[in-house]
Homo-oligomer: A and B are copies of this chain.
Amino acid sequence: MARHMSDEEIVTRILDGDVRAAGRLMRRVDDNLPSARPILAELFSHTGKARIIGVTGNPGSGKSTLVNQLIGTLRKRGHRVGCVAVDPTSPFSGGAILGDRVRMQQHALDKDVFIRSVATRGNLGGISRSTPAIVQVLDAMSFDVIIIETVGVGQDEVDIVRLADTSIVVNVPGLGDDVQASKAGIMEIADLFVINKADRDGVKRLRRELRTMIELGEGFGEEDWKPKVLETIATRGEGVEALADSIFEHLDWLDTHGESERIEQDRLDHYIALIATGQLERMMANIQQESSWKALLGEVSSRETSPYEAANMMLSKLREAIEE
């Protein structure tokens, strides 16, 4: 059994970069345990230094290979790199854990790299809720670049990308339009587009499609960042240095245009709302267990009461549940 560590000890160790203490806290975050909260609150004053890079792309886009290469490049430039990989995996496949191990091997001896997988487990808002907390822990550990890697589909993942200073969308040539369309929503918020597997047929077409999409997007003023299109062959490391250059170019642009502060405030605003929503959902789940609620549900089921009246009842019950 693991030795007991006080909250204070966990905080001190995490600030010292202790991987085991961090892992312990992250498990509490994953399991949504209230005991994570005082520690996260304590760590918070030590955060706000890291730059956050979001990388999204469909399964098969080679996104994980690209991220691995990018980690290598960033390490050569002297950065300490944290990575949160959000993967919708099955309890059957155990994919997140396996993937983690394979990828950890490559950077296993490097204490300046920390890779953490977040499994979705099908719980409501689970990813978007735990990811910001895990990013905070990495930030407090003085990882100065934090990469959030997601499969770019679904609202939760759009939210995650919104956490990032720089958002990168990875595409591959030769996939149908259908697949491209499935990444919509993410497309609109990308700062950099990467065409990975750029030795494949269809690069020219994809490049043209992306450029047209960028031109058709919001009218870019002189002062706006215009998304770039880059090409990589991640398996051979080609184009990864140029990608790193573009990331820092974008981060500099954010700094010189006062955008970094705005992103940080949006990120915190979003995070605060997530914490509040999480608490409301817990209260709601408790109310849904009450016998009086079950009785009300019976009335809705028999069409005596409408769901809208019931929602109002829920709100008054929540009002009572929120302590002054």
- A residues neighboring B (CB under 8 Å): 37, 40-41, 44-45, 47-48, 59-60, 87-93, 95, 120-122, 124-127, 151, 153-159, 176-179, 181-182, 184-185, 187-188, 213, 216-217, 261, 264-265, 268-269, 271-273, 275-277, 279-281, 284, 288, 297-298, 300-301, 303, 306-311, 314-316, 318-319, 322, 324
Contacts and interface: CB of A to CB of B under 8 A. Distances in A.
How many copies, total? 2
Contacts of A155: 120, 122, 124-127, 154-156
Given A154-B154, A181-B88, A297 B268 contact: yes
B322 A88 contact: no
Contacts of A264: 301
A45 B303 contact: yes
Given A91-B184, A153-B154, 9 more contacts: A40-B308, A120-B155, A154-B155, A154-B156, A261-B301, A272-B307, A272-B311, A280-B280, A280-B318
A178 B92 CA distance: 13
A155 B9 CA distance: 36
Nearest to A209: B92
Contacts of A126: 155
A90 B187 contact: yes
